[in-house]
Chain A
Amino acid sequence: MAIAVFVIFVAIVLIASSHTSQRAGSVGGYFVANRSVHWSVNGIAFAGGYLSVASFLGICGLISFFGFDGFLYSIGFLAGWIVALFVIAEPMKRMGTFTFPDALNRNYNHPGIQLAAGLSVLVVSLFYLVPQMVGAGVLVEPLLGIPHYWGVIMVGTVVILIVASGGMTSTTYVQFFNGGLLLVFATVLTGAVLLRGVNTADLPPQEGDVDLEPYTFEEVNVDISGDLPKVDLPHARIVDRHAKIDRYTGQETEVFYRMSRLVPAISDGEGGYTAELKGRTPHFVSPPEEHELWAVDYVEGRPFLRVEDWWRLVSGAEDADRLVETQFRAVLADGRVLVNGVPEGPTNRLRQVGGVAKLPDDYGGNTGTVGPIRLLSVFADESTLVNQPADISFTTDTDEDVTIYYHRPTTGAVFMRPGLMFPVEAQTGEPPVVTLLNRLNFISLMLALFLGTSALPHILIRYYTVPSADDARKSTVVGIIGIGVFYVLTMYLGLGAVASGALNPETSNMSAPLLARSFGEVLFAVISGIAFTTVLATVSGLIMAASGAVAHDFVGNLLHREISDNAKVLTGRIVAVVIGLIGIVLGIAFREMNVSFLVGWAFAVAASANLPALLLMLFWRKTTAVGIISSILVGIIASVGLILLSPDMWARYGLDPASAPMPLNQPGIVSIPLSFLTLVVVSLKTRGRAPA
């Protein structure tokens, strides 16, 4: 069904494109949609192009996993539009004709500016393109059951078709269509969340062919006073232990026990059995020829399945210590994969997690339908307990790579304020320098979000599709309203997902579609379809921006002569296909990459490379061409360089993050001022030589 909805969406988009493609033959038609887009359409298209999968799936997921810290992205992503509207929109429209390098170069007529700015458009577009393509693949795997690369190829092909045929006109339609869908269905989903309210007892039924049903975790009493912990279960014993140790205090913060136990099995009389395992009844044959993992023991004549699984220790202050069941995935030394102690398979997968464990007393376990403000205050209450998803990975003595997924009960008051994702508060025993770096990372990210939005190439090109500067301003206002409303709704989608216990423990990116699925297959199919059009809309904007940069800013300046309009359009189309193909390749190559990870960096690169040049060109008369060129190049090199030297990348290279030459993960706080400084110093130095 999801695929049917997606096909319908794509068909609408392609029909609209083919309808407009005859108008895309001219330079104006191909690159700027003949400057004839109505401001209201352009405004919704701003929203549709800007709200990427990182905003839609990424932020909802982060809110559902980390509470308020996910919402910080919403705040920062919207705040950037203030700069875009009040400072950038009108001058950009007045000064440029096709691309933002045009506008930068307006007063200088220096080919170097267009080359440098064109290069930065290409770099930022590619940085932004990769996570979008990866996101398409991530979506397609669980939704349509086809491999990751098919998702990337599918989206890539559709985008290439759209952009190469219809240029900016059809890109505008895709973005408009997507913006409208996002706003309408985020509102619908929010309404459904408020109607359902928050409930501690029954998680909503999961319809359809569900492999991620919610599950209530069992608890048993345990006595850990002796050498060997004793559990209050027949035929069960503790066989292994793993503790999470605080880096600074050396104390154990979480303790997990591996329990070997017997689960009742039912024989079918022909050598097959079924067993209740994590609420599920897998059917298996024992003894299997291939391995010993389905081991059936007979006790007093009754069959049992022997399972080893991990439980988390919960220390009670007054009552006894308890063990709480967890879920886990283990990769054995020989490569076999176990989920919850038995081989992974279509009937044995990780369950959905989340849910609210406790509500304020006056609700009696169920809020019923709540208003939008009430929902937020219920979540933020001191006595609310949220099942925050958490995981821990380690290798056992027997060379198993284990990842345990468990609930960390978090009070609402903590869940709804900063700190869970960005550890801004000083921890006990933490060296002051670590606290300082954490805080700088946070400030750096917020700075990049604030300054990056208005410098994103696929946003900047939208200013050239409307007739006048007035229209540019009006459409930006419409864009801000649409995006602002959407970001407020992300809060409800994220909280709704955790309240409904609709979280995939392995990835936060699936929270919004899984929330939709808790309301039924139709909404699930629509939301999944929209997730794909979101990728289409953002990617087509990015490819369009890159295509314009190469055809308009590179080719003429490199060949040192004007090229004909027809040649420009042809170049634009060819570049669109090439960039699309590069995007497909990178999307497949970087499939392991976290979607929201790269997006934050793309903002930092855009803010460092483009924004100082844009701002000072507008507001500082002493700015020179050489100053602009140096600032763009320094901005690109500094931001990309600092990213490549950051602890996060160090971890990706397989090195110790602590030994990374750059202590910060977020480059903005260094690279943005550096780029400003470069522009000022170089401009002052070169001012005498080349009068501006």
Chain B
Amino acid sequence: MDQNSLSTQTASERRNSSIGIRMTLLYLILYGGFVVLSVFRPGWMGAQAILGLNLAVAYGLGLIIVAVILALVYSQLCRIPRTGEALQDAHTSDRSFGEKGG
């Protein structure tokens, strides 16, 4: 395997990836919570939550809205370059971005 094959990754790319993984895990927790509630406490899902909506509808719509918000936040975070990023690039070529990302 070519040792430098991942060297085209810049620090910002790795940073994006690490933000991305955290956001994915956050969303996975929210989504998992929804699935667990639906499966094991469907009665709760019928209870009133907010704005006259029951928990199922509020949570379900919430998951869609949160996904859109997270996507927007992520794209904003990725757009702001960190200072000194270009300099870091030269020194990080031997690091797998998998480690950093995980």
User: Which of A's residues lie within 8 Å of B, judged by CB?
Assistant: 68, 71-72, 74-75, 78-79, 81-83, 85-87, 90-91, 94, 106-109, 373-374, 376-377, 380, 413-414, 416-419, 424-425, 439, 442-443, 446, 450, 469-470, 473-474, 476-477, 480-481, 484-485, 487-488, 491, 618-621, 691-692
Contact = CB atoms under 8 A, between A and B. Distances in A.
Interface in B44-96: 45-46, 51-57, 60-61, 63-65, 67-68, 70-72, 74-75, 78, 96
Chain B contact residues: helix, strand, loop or mixed: helix
B52 A374 contact: yes
Contact of A620 (B8, B57, B74, B98): B98
Contacts of A85: 20, 71, 74
B98 A618 contact: yes
Given A439-B39, A439-B40, A79 B20 contact: no
Contacts of A94: 8-9, 13
Contacts of A618: 97-98, 101
Q: Which 4 A-B pairs have the closest CB atoms?
A: A86-B20, A377-B52, A417-B46, A619-B98
Of A82, A443, A488, A692, most buried by chain B (CB within 10 Å of CB) is A82
A473 to B, nearest CB: 6
A424 B67 contact: no
Contacts of A473: 16, 74-75, 78
Given A374-B52, A442-B38, A473-B74, 14 more contacts: A90-B20, A107-B1, A109-B1, A376-B57, A377-B51, A414-B46, A416-B56, A417-B54, A424-B42, A439-B40, A442-B35, A481-B68, A484-B68, A487-B64
Interface in B9-39: 9, 13, 16-17, 19-21, 23-24, 27-28, 31, 34-35, 38-39
B78 to A, nearest CB: 6
Contacts of B27: 79, 82
14 contacts: A68-B60, A75-B64, A79-B67, A83-B24, A86-B21, A87-B24, A417-B54, A417-B55, A418-B39, A442-B35, A442-B38, A477-B74, A485-B68, A620-B102
A71 B71 CA distance: 21
B68 A480 contact: yes
Q: How large is the interface on B (under 10, 10 to 19, 20 to 34, 35 or more residues)?
A: 35 or more
A484 B68 CA distance: 7
A168 to B, nearest CB: 24
Contacts of A619: 98, 101-102
B56 A417 contact: yes
B24 A480 contact: no
A13 B2 CA distance: 44
A78 B75 CA distance: 17
A425 B46 CA distance: 13
A480 B67 contact: yes
Contacts of B96: 621
A377 B1 CA distance: 58
B24 A413 contact: no
Contacts of A86: 19-21, 23-24, 70, 74
Contacts of B52: 373-374, 376-377, 380
Given A91-B17, A106-B5, A450-B31, A416 B57 contact: yes
B11 to A, nearest CB: 14
A444 to B, nearest CB: 10
Contacts of B98: 618-621
A83 B67 CA distance: 10
Contact of B56 (A91, A418, A442, A469): A418
Contacts of A91: 17
A419 B57 contact: no
A78 B61 CA distance: 11
Contacts of B72: 477, 481
B35 A446 contact: yes
Of A72, A85, A439, most buried by chain B (CB within 10 Å of CB) is A85
Contacts of B53: 373, 376-377, 380
B95 to A, nearest CB: 10
